[in-house]
Amino acid sequence: MRKVRVEDYLIAIDQLCDEATSTLAKSGQIAKSLGIANGTVSSTLLKLAADGLIVHQPYDGVKLTDQGRVRFHKVARRLRIIELLLDGLLKWDTESIVDEARRIEVAASDRLIDGMDAYLGFPAIDRFGQPIPQSGK
């Protein structure tokens, strides 16, 4: 089982929240999304709130702060670029591509990600139609 990182929480929270309807991500939903225990999620959410990455509304849920959104955008950009490159080169199934991208993203330098982005022609969207945040955003 892979280690769950802060960035994994930010991705899960972003996926579960709906900005248009002010939906908050519940800790049980986050636990299910990440495949970890509710207690682990609860303690980690308190830390993320203390670090200023999320707003925690007890009994209602959490959402990303501006600082959390900046960090989410950085990791989302990195993952989406890596996934696009792997998909184009290897034509693997989606689950394999996502798993490998998460492994690579941890070790890849910003220079490598920027080089991949340039090689791909600075794509604006990923293979699922999701926007790829631009560098520095």
- Domains in the chain and their CATH numbers? 6-64 (1.10.10.10), 74-119 (1.10.60)
Q: Decide if 36 contacts 23 (C-beta within 8 A).
A: no
Percentage helix, strand, coil for the chain under 3-state DSSP, each rounded to 5? 60, 10, 30
pLDDT tens per residue, range 105-118 = 999 999 999 999 99
d(CA 18, CA 28): 16
Residues in the chain, pLDDT under 70:
1-2, 19-22, 136-137
**Residue keyed to tokens 């959390």:** 68
The model carries a pTM of 0.84
